[in-house]
A and B are shown apart, each in its own frame.
Chain A
Amino acid sequence: MDDDKKLVQKTLDGEKRAFEMIVRRYQKPLFNYIQRMVGNRELALDLTQDIFVKIYSSLDSYRFQYKFRTWMFKIASNSLIDYFRKKRIDTFSYEQKEKRDSPSTFQIPDDEDSVVKTFELSNLRKRIEQALEKIPPQMRELFVWRHINEFSYKEIAEIKEMPVGTIKNKVFQAKEMLRRLLEGLI
């Protein structure tokens, strides 16, 4: 049993301190994910709190054969979908997005401009943050999990219940989308 699972078991046995350790361990990654998704610090703080409450109240339904981190982020992702729905923010599915993006966009044009290389790394990071707000939430979510939360493709596939190959493809698509948006930020 890994460390997370031990803490979950202790929490289920009534040890408040064990859940506090879970909160301390995951508050930063969870907050950074939510902040990138909603784009507002105060709102992200409130939502992170609410999600921890939800995680605590759902602990009974956690199955120990799954990784706790992926289970937790699945709850967070579903909570965000609910939040976006309530606020009537467009959260179209991946399938719809695929129809909008023609497959040819993944092909590199012969006269491709070298946009990204014109920026210094620190400057480029700032611009990526700006561009990130402009990509659709579902694509942004995958990008954030991969590059900010540093999840493996397998973990993301587990959270989203999708094949690993599909997830990789979506993350690459998100990066290409970012790259194109960076052209507009020059």
Chain B
Amino acid sequence: MKCLKADQIYLYLEGELSAEEASAVRFHLASCPSCQKAVEEREHLNQACKELPLGDLPTDFTPRVMRKIFPEKVSFRSWLRALAGGLASFVVFSLLFLFLSASPFLPFLTAFYRAPLNLVQDISLVLVKIFKLLTLLIKVFLQLISLFTRGFMSVFTLIQPEIQISLTLFFLIFFFFFFYKIKRKFLIGENA
């Protein structure tokens, strides 16, 4: 028998060879010191490979995985409870602050009462200004359109009727494709 190959040695060590093959290997090993050395070497490696250390996981690993799969839903009641808690602690801290700083209580209450009203007043002012600006923009836009159509009509009457029809058709087709393309662009990623 020729000297052993590495895969033969591994098969022999793992008991994967047939009885006949295994006895042939044993017979060869008895008379071949270099193959004996190779087998011992790989036996030692196999033994070391069998008990490689296993890494440990953090103790909260399983709950972490479960939370990722089944995220906990916060109930409406819990939200309400948190809100009430927040409000109560705000009141307690305000009172504590007033008591410790010896500030008068009435002006503080008035300021606290007026703050939301001031906010509403400011927001309404901004909204009115935005509304005024928008109406002005619309007026300018409408005037521009009327100017454009008047100019277009005066040029259009100078052209022959056959050319008028072909121009109208051309613009109709152009606008159709223009809007079709825009529609496609907006639909990309959904149903387009």
Residues of A whose CB lies within 8 Å of any CB of B are 16, 19-20, 23-24, 27-28, 31-32, 35, 41, 44-45, 48-49, 52-53, 56, 106-108, 110, 112, 114-117, 119, 121, 124-125, 128-129, 143, 147-148, 168-169, 171-172, 175-176, 178-179
The A contact surface, by secondary structure, is: helix
B40 adjacent to chain A (CB < 8 Å): yes
B95 adjacent to chain A (CB < 8 Å): no
- B68 CB contact (under 8 Å) in A16, A28, A49: A49
Nearest B residue to A112 via CB reads: B38
- A124 CB contact (under 8 Å) in B38, B42, B44, B62: B44
- B37 CB contact (under 8 Å) in A32, A35, A114, A169: A114
Verify B6–A107 contact, CB threshold 8 A.
yes
- B34 CB contact (under 8 Å) in A16, A28, A112: A112
Bound-state CA distance A24–B113 (Å) is 56
Bound-state CA distance A186–B129 (Å) is 81
Residues in B52-69 with C-beta less than 8 Å from chain A: 52-58, 61-62, 64-66, 68-69
> A24 — which chain B residues lie within 8 A by C-beta?
62
**Interface size class for chain B?**
35 or more
- Closest-CB distance, A118 to chain B (whole angstroms): 10
Verify A28–B40 contact, CB threshold 8 A.
no
